[in-house]
Amino acid sequence: MNEVLRVALVDDQALMRAGFRALLDAEDGIEVVGEAADGEQGVALVRDRVPDVALVDVQMPVMSGIEATRRIAADPALAAVRVVILTNYGLDEYVFEALRAGASGFLLKDTEPADLLQAIEVVARGEALLSPSVTRTLIGEFVSRPPDRATAPGLDRLTRREREVTALAARGLSNEEIAGHMVISPLTAKTHISRAMTKLGARDRAQLVVFAYESGLVEARQRENGP
């Protein structure tokens, strides 16, 4: 990761882009490398500038933020780019689809400035912008969704331990909480998570969460019972 975090802004609302730019430009260690007003322009911008993080509105003209995310995630040359979806509505169908498409997380547009800055740093480090509390909220979105094992192959590639840590991560536990639950070190928990991500071709922890639910590794009754 670069010493200066490079951020691209993709949103069809000029006022929203201006607000984000003003906030980010005022921060040492963050550089806004460009703006785009729709998904198609956003993909072109990301391919041209290869930022560390792209803040992408979920609903835009010409090409949606979801499709833009999918194209960015599918481009090997952009493997290091992390997409954060911006939404007015919180957890909705669009956010779910964006995470499935390859987004590393999401933010409400009215998030506090300090939270936005922290989110950019978290995602740029390669972590998912899915804190335990947010993940538990996301879990509720999956309650009514039956497992679709056909869309989430690869469960058989994971060891028993890797399945266990994946399930715990999907239930909202941090590495430290996973370590306590399994009586292992946080570093070992992180290693298991990393290996599971590699085997499944997951870009980050967010993709691991999506996989856990789509594969049926974590089921509705587990969500109701909690960790």
Comparing 192 with 98, the larger pLDDT belongs to 192
pLDDT (0 to 100) of residue 7: 94
Treating both helix axes as pointing N-terminal to C-terminal, what angle do 160-170 and 205-214 enclose, rounded to 10 degrees? 100
Considering Cα of 218, then 219, then 220, then 222, what sign does the dihedral take?
negative
What span, in angstroms and rounded, lies between the C-alpha atoms of 42 and 66? 11
pLDDT (0 to 100) of residue 226: 45
Considering Cα of 142, then 144, then 146, then 151, what sign does the dihedral take?
negative
pLDDT (0 to 100) of residue 39: 93
- The CB density around residue 40, as the number of other CB atoms within 10 Å, is 18
Whether residue 139 is predicted with pLDDT greater than 60 in this model: the reply is no
Tell me the average pLDDT across 143-172.
71
Comparing 160 with 219, the larger pLDDT belongs to 160
The percentage of residues in the chain with a pLDDT greater than 70, rounded to a whole number, is 79
Treating both helix axes as pointing N-terminal to C-terminal, what angle do 160-170 and 175-182 enclose, rounded to 10 degrees? 130
pLDDT (0 to 100) of residue 112: 82
The percentage of residues in the chain with a pLDDT greater than 90, rounded to a whole number, is 24
Whether residue 34 is predicted with pLDDT greater than 90 in this model: the reply is yes
pLDDT (0 to 100) of residue 153: 60
pLDDT (0 to 100) of residue 227: 43
Tell me the average pLDDT across 198-222.
72
72, amino acid identity: I
What span, in angstroms and rounded, lies between the C-alpha atoms of 25 and 171? 36
pTM comes to: 0.69
pLDDT (0 to 100) of residue 55: 93
Tell me the average pLDDT across 208-217.
77
Tell me the average pLDDT across 82-103.
76
Share the mean pLDDT of the chain. 80
Tell me the average pLDDT across 53-82.
90
What span, in angstroms and rounded, lies between the C-alpha atoms of 4 and 134? 27
Whether residue 151 is predicted with pLDDT greater than 70 in this model: the reply is no
pLDDT (0 to 100) of residue 225: 42
Highest-scoring range by mean pLDDT, 63-67, 114-118, 153-157: 63-67
